[in-house]
Amino acid sequence: MYEQNTTPPPDAADDPTGFRIDPVLARSWLLVNGAQPNRFAAAARSRADIVVLDIEDAVAPKDKLVARENVVSWLAGGHADWVRVNGFGTPWWADDLAALAPGSVGGIMLAMVESVDHVTETAKRLPGIPIVALVETARGLERISEIASAKGTFRLAFGIGDFRRDTGFGDNPATLAYARSRFTIAAKAAHLPSAIDGPTVGSSALKLSEATAVSVEFGMTGKICLTPEQCHPVNEGLSPSQDEISWAKEFFAEFERDGGEIRNGSDLPRISRATKILDLARAYQIGSAEYEDDPVHVPAPSDTHHF
């Protein structure tokens, strides 16, 4: 498990380092075009939980080498961001990994994962580096349980755009319900942190809010972002709400008043849910001062991974 950053999130405009948290709990995963190094510093100052420098889909074939050099140079400057690399079997995959191996890369988002081998072969070349398996095709979805269980898989991510292109599906949440369900179930069955949902295209705040609510509905706890401006609303949408926090605190207060003993079959699930809500609120620094006088409560199982 990664060590969590317990520093309160800064105002992105005032703090030069931005705010990064444990990638197990990361909500916003900001993609930044590797061919545009002038955007790296702004991304580092953003409210993204994780910055992912992209040398795959965002970069034209003619610019792949330059983008890779930009990213390697940035990492060599003392940064430890993640990188989305080209998929296994492409002309760039092996060279991407070779270039990143000596550096300080925080993790890899591996594009177009369609089999266990794609993850395991990548992990062999970058030992000890966490890998988010980006599943983007029908073939990958059919093998998602195997991919989730592969040695080296850290989290799953849903590549919505390529998946829709591959299958011909529309973007209606009902149309993609089966696919999202498969991601969540595969992740949980493999003891991974919850899956990362795909991005929302466009600048509509309402559309982004609605899409993030869909992610929550399907049990997904992360979301790919395409601009720094998307990160804050995604973080808010994927964090415990004030109503949830109030419910959790009230539940524990009532539980303690009743003697702190299990009263019926619903108590254990509610203890687990309330504990997770308050633990996440602390991790995300949501009103942390409010919890100083909380009664001691039973720890709930946390998201784990077998990486």
At residue 65, does pLDDT exceed 90?
A: yes
| Whole-angstrom distance, CA of residue 8 vs CA of residue 6 | 6
In-domain check, residue 83: yes
Q: How many domains does the chain have?
A: 2
What pLDDT, on a 0 to 100 scale, did the predictor assign at position 50?
Answer: 97
More confident residue, 70 or 301: 70
Tell me, yes or no, whether 233 and 246 share the same domain.
no
Tell me, yes or no, whether 281 and 225 share the same domain.
no
Q: Which two tokens stand for residue 132?
A: 């988010």
In-domain check, residue 1: no
In-domain check, residue 232: yes
More confident residue, 228 or 4: 228
At residue 90, does pLDDT exceed 70?
A: yes
Round the average pLDDT of the chain to a whole number and report it: 89
In-domain check, residue 94: yes
In the chain, DSSP assigns E strands to 28-33, 50-54, 82-85, 107-110, 131-135, 153-158, 196-197, 222-225
Q: How confident is the model at residue 216 (pLDDT cuts 50, 70, 90)?
A: very high
Half-sphere exposure of 132 (CA within 13 A, CB side): 31
CB 74 within 8 Å of CB 103: no
In-domain check, residue 95: yes
| Whole-angstrom distance, CA of residue 208 vs CA of residue 185 | 24
At residue 187, does pLDDT exceed 90?
A: yes
Tell me, yes or no, whether 250 and 273 share the same domain.
yes
More confident residue, 14 or 78: 78
| Whole-angstrom distance, CA of residue 11 vs CA of residue 72 | 28
What CATH number should be reported for the domain holding residue 87?
Answer: 3.20.20.60
**Which residues form the domain of 71?**
28-237
pLDDT in tens, 107-132: 999 999 999 999 999 999 999 999 99
At residue 290, does pLDDT exceed 60?
A: no
Q: Which residues contact 65 (CB under 8 A, 6 or more apart)?
A: none
What pLDDT, on a 0 to 100 scale, did the predictor assign at position 25?
Answer: 96
Tell me, yes or no, whether 63 and 209 share the same domain.
yes
Beta-bridged to residue 162, according to DSSP, are none
At residue 259, does pLDDT exceed 90?
A: no
Q: Which of 16-20, 74-78, 262-266, 272-276 has the lowest mean pLDDT?
A: 16-20
In-domain check, residue 23: no
More confident residue, 258 or 162: 162
What pLDDT, on a 0 to 100 scale, did the predictor assign at position 13?
Answer: 41
What pLDDT, on a 0 to 100 scale, did the predictor assign at position 261?
Answer: 86
Tell me, yes or no, whether 254 and 215 share the same domain.
no
Among 139, 135, 32, CA closest to 79: 32
Tell me, yes or no, whether 200 and 280 share the same domain.
no
Q: Which residues contact 160 (CB under 8 A, 6 or more apart)?
A: 171, 176, 197, 198, 199
Tell me, yes or no, whether 59 and 150 share the same domain.
yes
Handedness of CA 71, 73, 76, 77 (dihedral sign): negative
What pLDDT, on a 0 to 100 scale, did the predictor assign at position 264?
Answer: 87
CB 69 within 8 Å of CB 96: no
In-domain check, residue 225: yes
Tell me, yes or no, whether 151 and 205 share the same domain.
yes
Tell me, yes or no, whether 174 and 247 share the same domain.
no
CB 196 within 8 Å of CB 82: no
Q: Which of 12-16, 28-32, 93-97, 176-180 has the lowest mean pLDDT?
A: 12-16
What pLDDT, on a 0 to 100 scale, did the predictor assign at position 203?
Answer: 82
Tell me, yes or no, whether 211 and 250 share the same domain.
no
At residue 292, does pLDDT exceed 70?
A: no
At residue 140, does pLDDT exceed 80?
A: yes
Tell me, yes or no, whether 153 and 99 share the same domain.
yes
At residue 267, does pLDDT exceed 90?
A: no
DSSP 148-216: HHSTTEEEEEE-HHHHHHHH---S-TTTTHHHHHHHHHHHHHTTPPPPEE----SS-HHHHHHHHHHHH
At residue 147, does pLDDT exceed 90?
A: yes
AA identity, residue 246 = S
What pLDDT, on a 0 to 100 scale, did the predictor assign at position 19?
Answer: 64
Tell me, yes or no, whether 77 and 219 share the same domain.
yes
| Whole-angstrom distance, CA of residue 279 vs CA of residue 213 | 21
Position of tokens 């869909």? 214
At residue 266, does pLDDT exceed 60?
A: yes
